[in-house]
Chains A and B, each alone.
Chain A
Amino acid sequence: MKLRIVLMLALMGFVCCSFYACTQKDSSVGSEITGGLDNPQEIIIEPENSAFYQIEATTGASPYLLVGEYNSYQTAALLKFVPTSALPDSYAVDSLAIVMYVDSMFNSDPVYIDVIAVNESQEWSEIGVTWSELDSLELGDAISAFEVNSGLDSITIHLPPPSEPVADSTFADSLLRAWDQANSGEKTLLYNNGLYLKATGTVSNLVQLASAEYTISAHQPRLEMYVTVFDTSDTTGTYPLQDTLIVYASSDAFVATDNAGIDDSTRLYLGNAVAHRSMLYFDFQNLLPSYGIGIHRAEVTLHADKENPLNIGKINGSFHLRMQDTTWFDTPETAPIAFGDVPVLSIYDEETGLLTMKINTFVYDWISAPDTNFGFMIKSFDEFLDISRTVFYGLNAPDSLRPEMRIIYIEGGQ
């Protein structure tokens, strides 16, 4: 009996040790025997359809104000100061000066710019104003003008004080009329729709001025008001009265139009200001199984046509967004964009001329649910920033330059 008990206990111990001593093979020996194991695969497909259109972007957030004409682009700038808080009732304005800084010029040609006061009836907002909106802009004669030459760092626009009655004022009803009222001891700003800067004459250059969003605050547009104390008994409180008051621009934007009339469907376009946007559609029908595919990378690559004369400036990168339907095949400018996508930034490599966009999420959805595949839009990620038009090869380009989607995937062996 004791032997039997010992045997039973030994048996129990053996079973316990046997179970817990089980190990799992963890070496790589034997990997070659399983011929037919699926390795990651690469497939390259080309789009079935493409389109592009252009839209006037709102540029109020741009750190620049562009004025001039270049490569079929035409731009003008809007600028507005609200000096009410800086101007006590007891002051009269003797003269004004607007100081602006030049960031860059496209070439060395001089640019002549008129300064026009925006009409009383034309209000504008820096977020939303576009060239099309200014078609009905009523503009009078220029109240001032200046020339921008290569190498110039800053410009000063001098505005004389109102020296004539308001009704006979040779200056547009705008900021100066307000000064006229102030000159009489009343700080009543009748209206203020800002100033319009427009290139005149034969222009083949674009001037890039610093805007109110410029990174160097000292270079942001400012209004300098040279004042005379009107009523010394009126004070502004504890602070001493100044004879020069400075106000920075409260709102500004540039508006642009593209007169190139692009209709070349063999190319795709991306751009800023007059923002070109392109769409692509890839057909995944019967390409891959609808489930059980793991995608390491799905990318779309556009090759820039760097020699194309329509290139101006460059884009920095792009966003890509899914389309809600395929009406863009016919009317790209009105086709809706799908909701819910978080814009993903892709950087444009200027040196190689490649714009590569990673779209793993899109491809996963299109493979698993082909009926949600309506293609996607590519747009410059900073359309508000400046002027640019970057040309890319389209569907009819030589093999190595066409847009393509490259997918590296693995099948899960379900």
Chain B
Amino acid sequence: MRRCTFILSTLLAVSTTAFAAGSIFSGLADYGLWETFTSSRAAGFGKAGLALGDSVGLNFMNPADLASLKKTRVSVGGFLTNTRMEDPYGVDSEDWAQFEHFGVAIVLRSGLGLGFFITPASRIDYRYNWQSEAGGVDFTETRSGSGGLSRTGLNVGWAFSEWGKIGASAAVLFGQVEESRISYTEESGYDPYIEFLNTQQWLGFTGSIGVLLEPTPKFSIAAILEPEAPIQLDNEFAYSEEDSMVLTEAEYKLAGLYGIGLSYQFSPHLLTSAQLLYRPWSAVDDLPVITDEYQDAVEIGGGLEWIPGEWDDEFFFSRLQYRAGLRYESNYVKSQGSSLNGYYGTFGIGIPLHQGRDRIDLSLEYGLRGDITDNGGQERILKIRAGINLGETWFVRSKPSWED
């Protein structure tokens, strides 16, 4: 029964396409808005999970942490979000929920782990409506897009020493984006409706190397390196006035990712973590849109985790892990020529299960992205995340009876 539910839930999770959260700013670039995800635990830390060695949850960003696993692990989760969007002319609010991460990792042997994962990489989800005029005639214009990129692949982590782990990841970036452009008029004598449809299929291969060093039992330092990678685009362009369509292929580049993280265990009850991620988009030559609209992306996050009681504390709430963090991001696209920045605060709870061998991570993130004056709009984002981390004794035979 457990195996069935595991398999069903796994298939269900994998069968859905992972999308990162949408945004009114996601129409600024063909890739959409990028999102990073480290682990469900780090979501309460301001997403600062690079250097978090975690034997219960899976680290989706630093493959080196797979070397910490003691048993097969499954990690899955998603979020509910409310985004309040505002521009100089109006306010709107959107609610949605989505799957965010799924991973399963196995222990090949002590100090060597292998994992499969799928996470969102970017999302495009926007719809712009505006009025225009040409030749004294009024038009209603719409531009909308949906889709995004997902990332899936294999991670492997190896503990080369007691204090050091190294890992590698091979991943596929894939996704589909549909962008529609509609022009409509009610003026008599005009062709009233013109629609263009771009259907984009993205496919790229990338990889990364991660390092997790523990020079002291309390201090960890981690780093990841993901080089600049090519990504293939198959574009299908059609519009309402033509029966035919134009198929084009192109190859662009994705900026590399450089990250460094730190964590320090002040005491068994207090842990801090911080990380810095950097993507040099301005150095990339082949981008789908005008290079001037791209800038280097930076994300800085940090937080702390506090466990008030012992693992077997009599008081329920003393057994939980409490997390808080802050995060700042400077997005890779500009809006109206200005940097698109986001400021977020996070709060999380870790609920141990099965004597701490499993865990449910809940987190709340609230943030501001953009500025009405500089960027033409602002988003207030409230996100409630849930992640389930389970350990299984898969791939382990039962003890033979003659050894009893």
Contact of A364 among B141, B241, B376 (CB under 8 A): B241
Q: A12-B8, A39-B141, A294-B183 are in contact. Are A22 and B19 (CB under 8 A)?
A: yes
Q: Assess the A15–B241 pair: CB atoms within 8 A.
A: no
Asked if A360 is at the interface of the complex by the 8 Å CB criterion, the answer is yes
Considering the complex, give the chain B residue whose CB is closest to the CB of A12.
Answer: B9
Q: Assess the A412–B196 pair: CB atoms within 8 A.
A: yes
Q: Assess the B237–A29 pair: CB atoms within 8 A.
A: no
Asked if A21 is at the interface of the complex by the 8 Å CB criterion, the answer is yes
Q: Which of B178-197 contact A (CB under 8 A)?
A: 179, 181, 183, 185, 189-192, 194-196
Q: Which of A1-38 contact B (CB under 8 A)?
A: 1, 3-5, 7-9, 11-12, 14-19, 21-35, 37-38
| CA of A23 to CA of B83, assembled, Å | 12
Q: Assess the A22–B98 pair: CB atoms within 8 A.
A: yes
Q: How many residues of B contact A (CB 8 A)?
A: 78
B-side contacts of A202, CB under 8 Å: none
Q: Which of B355-404 contact A (CB under 8 A)?
A: 358, 360, 370, 375-377, 386, 388, 390
| CA of A4 to CA of B179, assembled, Å | 42
Closest CB-CB distance, A164 to chain B, in whole Å?
Answer: 67
B-side contacts of A360, CB under 8 Å: 191
| CA of A12 to CA of B1, assembled, Å | 14
**Could you tell me the dominant secondary structure of chain A's interface residues?**
mixed
Closest CB-CB distance, A295 to chain B, in whole Å?
Answer: 7
| CA of A8 to CA of B358, assembled, Å | 13
Q: Assess the A4–B390 pair: CB atoms within 8 A.
A: yes
Instruction: Name the residue in B24, B92, B95, B354 with the highest tally of chain A Cβ atoms < 10 Å from its Cβ.
Output: B24
A217-241 contact mask (Cβ, 8 Å, vs B): 1 or 0: 0000000000000000000000000
Contact of A408 among B1, B137, B358 (CB under 8 A): B137
Closest CB-CB distance, B372 to chain A, in whole Å?
Answer: 10
Asked if B335 is at the interface of the complex by the 8 Å CB criterion, the answer is yes
Asked if B110 is at the interface of the complex by the 8 Å CB criterion, the answer is no
| CA of A34 to CA of B27, assembled, Å | 7
Instruction: Say which size band chain A's interface belongs to.
Output: 35 or more
Asked if A306 is at the interface of the complex by the 8 Å CB criterion, the answer is no
Q: Assess the B91–A33 pair: CB atoms within 8 A.
A: no
B1-33 contact mask (Cβ, 8 Å, vs A): 1 or 0: 110011011001100100100101101100000
B143-161 contact mask (Cβ, 8 Å, vs A): 1 or 0: 1101000000000000000
Q: Assess the B85–A27 pair: CB atoms within 8 A.
A: yes
Contact of B94 among A11, A25, A31, A358 (CB under 8 A): A25
Closest CB-CB distance, B316 to chain A, in whole Å?
Answer: 15
Instruction: Name the residue in B5, B8, B189 with the highest tally of chain A Cβ atoms < 10 Å from its Cβ.
Output: B5
Asked if A331 is at the interface of the complex by the 8 Å CB criterion, the answer is no
Q: Assess the B92–A27 pair: CB atoms within 8 A.
A: yes
Q: A27-B85, A28-B128, A41-B134 are in contact. Are A414 and B97 (CB under 8 A)?
A: no
A-side contacts of B12, CB under 8 Å: 12, 15-16
Q: Assess the A37–B240 pair: CB atoms within 8 A.
A: no
Contact of A414 among B8, B192, B237 (CB under 8 A): B237
Q: A24-B125, A30-B377, A291-B246 are in contact. Are A412 and B181 (CB under 8 A)?
A: yes
Q: Which of A373-414 contact B (CB under 8 A)?
A: 406, 408, 410, 412-414
Residues of B within 8 A of A (CB): 1-2, 5-6, 8-9, 12-13, 16, 19, 22, 24-25, 27-28, 76, 78, 85-92, 94-99, 125-130, 132, 134-135, 137, 139, 141, 143-144, 146, 179, 181, 183, 185, 189-192, 194-196, 198, 235, 237, 239-241, 246, 248, 335-336, 353-354, 358, 360, 370, 375-377, 386, 388, 390
